[in-house]
Structure 1
Amino acid sequence: MTEHRPFLALATVRRGCVDTRQHFSVGGSGRADQGQLGPLHGWNDVEFAPHSDLGLQAHRDVEIVTWVRSGAITHEDDAGNRTRLVANSIHVMSAGAALHRAERNEENLPARQFQIWLRPRTPASTPRCSTRACSLGCREGRFVTLASGDPEDVRAGALPIHADARVRIATLREGTAMQYVLPMPGSAYLVADHGRLDVGPIRLTRRDGIAIRGETWLMLRAQDDTDVVIVELLR
């Protein structure tokens, strides 16, 4: 079963000069009919205007995976971490029992990111952060695992998360077609970033999402050049 979530139909939150579209309802914000998918309970499409910020935010018992799509974002938290995240980089944060963090665009250009929220396997873990890059060359025409709760993925270079999920990305060129096999039980959420993508009979336009439940494989056809980000649920 698949559920198309068009970008223009997503709930919108505006804080100062930061605009967020919510693929999932989070903490009472967002569309009630767009609920969580297993441990995946948040996917925000965030745009920062130049020199804008979200201010200090408190988090508890959540794994947050951030993929920077353009520009640069500065992350800072009360555990002493401060990182400038540039485009084509991924940042993983385990909030643990409690963590406060701020995100800022300190640059003269806009910045865009996906921010994915996952429920951890166990609560009150130790807060931690890690970062890696994934260049266009390493993901062109194939899916690369950016972050995962599977130890085998971590040994292969993915950033570790304490959740039953993996986050993957591919850059597909116009005309590319591939059969994508899902892990059992076959639930996932996929977003086409900047181009049109057919997922079986459903056409996604830029920044649309699709929730997938109970499927074993997907047929993907890129109608334009596009990045494709997918979160697979492992249980």
Structure 2
Amino acid sequence: MLQHRPLAEIGGGDLGWLKAKHHFAIGGHGNPAHVAVGNLFVLNDDEIAPKAGFPQHPHADIEIISYVRDGVLTHEDSIGNKGHTQAGDVQVMSAGTGIRHSEYNEQDVPTRMFQIWLRPRTGGGEPRWDTRAFPKTDRSGSFVALASGYGAPDALP
């Protein structure tokens, strides 16, 4: 069950280049009282400093959705994808059987984003990545599916 949690109860960390709030505990980070909800096991509120980011690292059997709130996030991976996701837009990565990727803020201002990790319903599959710009005016004041594992119209799969 989803619960409202005061900001003071949400664990986090400050690595200098990364300020993170972990809404669920994972790998020694976050409040240990906050456990995963079904397949949803990461919901982070991250701020990446200018000219900093995550160097290339591996993932397998995970679905990662990033919603960029401010700035630009640059992604590059081992299957040849490279792209930029701007504020208000979304990127998705299905790690499938395995992928290595990096995420950087190449800009001169902080990048702020929400990152969501889900366990897939079935493991394996081909790794993939995509990003999409979403019209800001069309979704103002309403809920819009930006990414979906259920074929929602216009959502990233």
Q: Deviations over 1:77-97 (max 9, x none)?
A: 111111111111100100112
- Give the superposed CA RMSD: 1.4
Higher relative contact order (CA 8 A, sep 6+): 2
How many angstroms apart in 2 are the aligned matches of 1:7 and 1:93? 28
Query: Alignment identity in percent?
Result: 42
> What's the TM-score once normalised by structure 1's chain length?
0.64
Equivalent position of 1:15 in the other structure: 15
Q: In the alignment, is the contact (CA less than 8 A) between 1:63 and 1:118 conserved in 2?
A: yes
- 4+ runs of 1 displaced by more than 6 Å? none
Equivalent position of 1:144 in the other structure: 144
Equivalent position of 2:45 in the other structure: 45
Q: Deviations over 1:154-195 (max 9, x none)?
A: xx21111xxxxxxxxxxxxxxxxxxxxxxxxxxxxxxxxxxx
How many angstroms apart in 2 are the aligned matches of 1:57 and 1:19? 19
Deviation (angstroms), 1:57: 2.1
> What's the TM-score once normalised by structure 2's chain length?
0.93
Equivalent position of 1:62 in the other structure: 62
Aligned residues: 157
List aligned pairs for 1:1-235, cutoff 5 A: 3-151=3-151, 153=152, 156-160=153-157
How many angstroms apart in 2 are the aligned matches of 1:147 and 1:80? 22
Unpaired stretches in structure 1, ≥5 consecutive residues: 161-235
Structure 2 SS opposite 1:37: coil
Deviation (angstroms), 1:16: 4.0
Q: In the alignment, is the contact (CA less than 8 A) between 2:59 and 2:99 conserved in 1?
A: yes
Q: Deviations over 1:14-67 (max 9, x none)?
A: 334111110011233222111111111100100011111122222111000000
The structure in which a higher percent of residues are strand is 1
